[in-house]
Structure 1
Amino acid sequence: MIAIDRRILTHFDFLLLAMILPLVIVSYILIGEVNDRLADKQATYVIVGFISFFLAFLVPIRKLSWSIPFFYWINIALLISVEIFGTTKLGAQRWIEIPFIHFTLQPSELMKPAFILMLAHIIRHTPPPKDGYRFKSFAKISFYILLPFVIILKQPDLGTALVLLLTGYGMLFLIGVHYKIWLGILLAISIASPVLYSSLHDYQRKRITDFLSEKPSYHVQQSIIAIGSGGLAGKAKDEATQAQLKFLPIATSDFIFAYHVERFGFWGAVGLILLYLSLILHLLSLSVMNKNDYFLKVVAISLAMLIFIYAAVNVAMTIGLAPVVGLPLPMFSYGGSSFVTFMVLLGMLENLLAFRFNFMYNFTSFGRGP
């Protein structure tokens, strides 16, 4: 008879999955209303995502923690290989094509779990003192944050590079770094801002210019019209003309929030934002409840930071409060790579939760009982 160790189920966080399911379901409905073919693809991505979640959950992360540096450096090598073997799409060289099967791989997505695990691995072995990390420890951790940032920035992929940078340093802020280091960083950024701006690509500077101009870009204008036309309660599918008549660009991915508000109105927007806020707060609460387990703590905080950055930037750009940078709404926008990445990260977190009391990873734990 097959049995599952009850202790695993006891510490599995079912609430986390319960918060994700409404995002997946509503997203599928909205994508299907705009494009049936994309909805079928999204269903495949969801299936692959949940399979990836299950596989990530089964990996004995704590027992295999010795291999995390290898995993990190393999992904760094993949990022560097993009410069040599990379495939260019939409003016950016971010993908590697696998021979014979014509499947493209985006190493920057694979880098996210490797990046978070590496930071967790380092902080687990050298936890911060009471007054926070000093310069030597901060510089060591910063090396592992800045290395993928610089490589991804050269692809160019400013959005993903900044996401990793903000996730890494946002996590460090909550973990604990001496306040003098943060003051020094703020001063350095303020002095170097003109140089940083001049080093951006032309299209990146244009996005900032469009954002700062009095009149928003065409995409943002149509997004604001869609959001305003939703009113309090939203519109029926056939009356949501901004998306149905193709005025709203990329309604299934970058601007899916605008279409969501057009369909479900102000209250629908509030509900979606509250769902993301609840998910982020729940992840942060896991880090507080397990304050001595730095491995779990870093992964939970980093995942919360990732979701916050993606969601905040995506919503802000649809209403003209941030430049259009192409960051999807987590587990809501159409697309496979981002969804699978988040599901892998959630599976890793569930593993660290369920096995945080050092249960045995053997046949008895998952298979036949005694």
Structure 2
Amino acid sequence: MSFLESNLKTVPTGIRKVLYLNYPLIILLSAVCCAGFLMLYSVAGGDPTLWAEPQMKRFAVGMVVMLVVAFTPIWFWRNISGVVYLLALLLLVAVEFFGVIGMGAQRWLEIGPMRVQPSEMMKVALVMLLAAYYDWLPVEKVSRPLWVLIPILLTVVPTVLVLMQPDLGTSIMLIAGGAVVMFAAGVSLWYFGTVVALVVGLVFVVLESRGTDWQLLHDYQFRRIDTFLDPTADPLGAGYNIIQAQIALGSGGWAGRGFMQGTQSQLNFLPEKHTDFIFNTLAEEFGFVGAFGLLMLYTAIIGFCLHAALVNKDRFSSLLIMGVAGTFFFYFAINMATVMGLLPAKGSPLPLVSYGGSAMIIILASFGLIQSANVHRPR
């Protein structure tokens, strides 16, 4: 590699940037997106104009955005990370006053002909700012309480705004993304252990408060917990979605029922089949083999990101890659756990597979940051 890079120094800068792109990562992202196009075509009953074609157009736009971000020097993104964070925060505040309501939640803003979801932008903005913060902060101060409090506040503020929408899935991803950057920066494990202990203690207290004079949750919220633990307790009500999702997962078997042959999705038993529950459609039509194959594609993407972070000698770039990769991991992990009934979180589509414009473009833009870090890394 050193011989190749030494010879590339004589190549014009523009061409050299193209050669420095992480092409395996581009191929893997494209493969995941193609799986999404295929499933969107299937759940639309063979009508490409309903979901598949619009998603393809967004993918084309997203790839252009990714390349523009990739060819922009990484120091530029470090310098404007604070501006990007403030813009995302202002958009989240604007959602509270001018947001569009859909599916019982107020998460979107209509800007001209476009509908954007600011919480998607905040996932990337938070990671950018925390990476820039720890790049600026001397290593010996990383675990001091005052300097730990600042990134916690930077994470908590947008998380609270997203919870108000409400969007539990994205809130978890914001916390997880911030935690990944803090962990990679070298924050003491005692802080993480303390947070885990507090969360476990809080859950215990909440459950113990049921039926007492100091009950911490409403009765309907406890009923939601009961439904999560046992969906069959309300099979036609709160437990309907997850029961149908589990039927789709199980009925696929090893090799699946066949393309466009899934009964749960084609007969509309499966809810939100083109967004939150699209993984169940894939598992029903292509079985364990198809579901495992998609998971391996996601795993390979994370693997290439971790390698890029480890070989990069720039602290900001390395932390940024780790943060983006961590957020992406929790993105698909939370969705898969949710549709299998392992988590009660809602509002978390499958990245690059589920139908959605702003999510697709912002995810590809975030991988553009990873590409920028690789293209412009010290060699």
Q: Same fold (TM over 0.5)?
A: yes
Displacement of 1:342: 0.6
**d(CA) in 1 for partners of 2:103, 2:179:** 30
Pair 1:239 & 2:261 matched = yes
Question: How big is each residue's C-alpha offset from its partner over 1:139-187, in whole Å with a ceiling of 9 and x where there is no partner?
Answer: 1221211111112222222221221011111332233211322232233
Question: How big is each residue's C-alpha offset from its partner over 1:241-293, in whole Å with a ceiling of 9 and x where there is no partner?
Answer: 22111122222221111111111111112211111112112212222222x42
Question: How big is each residue's C-alpha offset from its partner over 1:295-321, in whole Å with a ceiling of 9 and x where there is no partner?
Answer: 111221112211211211211222221
Aligned residue runs from structure 1 range 297-312, under 5 A: 297-312=318-333
Which range moves more in the overlay, 84-93 or 258-267? 84-93
**TM-score, normalised on structure 1?**
0.87
Counterpart pick for 1:346 among 361, 367, 373: 367
Tell me what 2:31 maps to: 22
Counterpart pick for 1:157 among 167, 178, 193: 167
Question: How big is each residue's C-alpha offset from its partner over 1:106-165, in whole Å with a ceiling of 9 and x where there is no partner?
Answer: 221222222111111101111534x96232221122121111111222222222122101
Aligned residue runs from structure 1 range 310-325, under 5 A: 310-325=331-346
**d(CA) in 1 for partners of 2:138, 2:306:** 18
| Cα pair 1:207 1:324 within 8 Å, conserved | no
What secondary structure, in the 3-state scheme, does the structure 1 residue paired with 2:76 have?
coil
Tell me what 1:121 maps to: 132
What secondary structure, in the 3-state scheme, does the structure 2 residue paired with 1:233 have?
coil
**d(CA) in 1 for partners of 2:159, 2:345:** 20
Tell me what 1:69 maps to: 82
Aligned residue runs from structure 1 range 97-108, under 5 A: 97-98=110-111, 101-108=112-119
What secondary structure, in the 3-state scheme, does the structure 1 residue paired with 2:51 have?
helix
Tell me what 2:285 maps to: 263
How many residue pairs match? The answer is 353
**d(CA) in 1 for partners of 2:37, 2:226:** 34
| Cα pair 1:222 1:248 within 8 Å, conserved | yes
| Cα pair 1:112 1:341 within 8 Å, conserved | no
Indicate how the Cα distance of structure 1 residues 185 and 7 shifts in structure 2: closer, same or farther if over 3 A, else same: same
| Cα pair 1:94 1:108 within 8 Å, conserved | yes
Question: How big is each residue's C-alpha offset from its partner over 1:212-232, in whole Å with a ceiling of 9 and x where there is no partner?
Answer: 125272122112222222121
Tell me what 1:190 maps to: 200
- Aligned residues: percent identity? 33
| Cα pair 2:231 2:240 within 8 Å, conserved | no
| Cα pair 2:169 2:334 within 8 Å, conserved | no
Aligned residue runs from structure 1 range 127-276, under 5 A: 127-129=138-140, 133-193=143-203, 207-213=224-230, 215=232, 217-276=239-298
| Cα pair 2:123 2:173 within 8 Å, conserved | no
What secondary structure, in the 3-state scheme, does the structure 1 residue paired with 2:139 have?
coil
What secondary structure, in the 3-state scheme, does the structure 1 residue paired with 2:154 have?
helix
| Cα pair 1:113 1:345 within 8 Å, conserved | yes
Pair 1:356 & 2:366 matched = no
| Cα pair 2:42 2:259 within 8 Å, conserved | yes
Indicate how the Cα distance of structure 1 residues 71 and 201 shifts in structure 2: closer, same or farther if over 3 A, else same: farther
Displacement of 1:60: 2.9
**d(CA) in 1 for partners of 2:23, 2:329:** 21
Question: How big is each residue's C-alpha offset from its partner over 1:57-114, in whole Å with a ceiling of 9 and x where there is no partner?
Answer: 233340353332122112212211222222322332222233xx35333221222222
Displacement of 1:207: 4.4
**d(CA) in 2 for partners of 1:154, 1:324:** 14
**d(CA) in 2 for partners of 1:179, 1:200:** 31
What secondary structure, in the 3-state scheme, does the structure 1 residue paired with 2:302 have?
helix
**d(CA) in 2 for partners of 1:278, 1:337:** 24
**d(CA) in 2 for partners of 1:202, 1:55:** 51
**TM-score, normalised on structure 2?**
0.85
Indicate how the Cα distance of structure 1 residues 237 and 64 shifts in structure 2: closer, same or farther if over 3 A, else same: closer
Displacement of 1:325: 0.9
**d(CA) in 1 for partners of 2:138, 2:217:** 36
**d(CA) in 1 for partners of 2:66, 2:220:** 36
Root-mean-square deviation (Å): 2.6
Pair 1:58 & 2:90 matched = no
Indicate how the Cα distance of structure 1 residues 233 and 47 shifts in structure 2: closer, same or farther if over 3 A, else same: same
Tell me what 2:62 maps to: 49
**d(CA) in 2 for partners of 1:42, 1:203:** 37
Corresponding letter in the other structure for 2:255:
A
